[in-house]
Amino acid sequence: MSSDKTREFLTDLFDQVESGDYMPLLDALSESVTWTVTGSSPISRVYRGKDDYVRNCYGALNQRLTTWPSARVRQLIVDGDRAVVFFQGEDGLGRNGIDYSMEYCWAMHVTEDRIDEVIGFYDGNKVSALFD
């Protein structure tokens, strides 16, 4: 994909996710996505395939969140089919009462309007606290 198409795709996607509804993001994942959660939190590992990610990462977070954080993009850097999205997750709330607001940075690869790779950088302390 060209830089312009990648930028347009991700801008539209994150505009939808800004409300805290992550379904458009899940819908945009390729079936063979590789999603790496960096760090050493309870969900840190490489997820291989959409089903693995949705079941074992997204599902685990969804069980522990009352409110998903809204995604407010601060910076989007695009080079062809690769992008880095730096965004602020605001107003996230865990069922255990913790504030799940944090900054995120995702390095992404996009092919034909599908996300096929994400390397995500998170606040490991916040993620771990969600699982306490």
For the segment 75-105, what is each residue's pLDDT rounded down to a tens digit? 999 999 999 999 999 999 999 999 999 999 9
Domain-located, residue 72: yes
Q: Which residue has the tokens 């998903």?
A: 68
Q: Is residue 122 part of a domain?
A: yes
pLDDT at 107: 98
Domain count across the chain = 1
Q: H/E element holding 70?
A: strand 70-79
This prediction's pTM: 0.93
Residue 109 lies in a domain: yes
Is residue 84 domain-resident? yes
pLDDT at 19: 78
Q: The domain that contains 88 carries what CATH number?
A: 3.10.450.50
> Hey, what are 12's tokens?
């539209």
- Can you tell me the distance from the alpha carbon of 48 to that of 82, in angstroms, rounded to the nearest whole number? 19
**Cα 79 to Cα 23: distance, rounded to the nearest angstrom:** 25
The list of the chain residues with pLDDT below 70 reads: none
Residue 37 domain boundaries? 3-127
pLDDT of residue 21: 80
- Tell whether 81 is covered by a domain: yes
- Sequence-distant (≥ 6) Cβ neighbours of residue 2 within 8 angstroms: 80
- For residues 50 and 31, what is the distance between their CA atoms, to the nearest angstrom? 5
Residue 132 lies in a domain: no
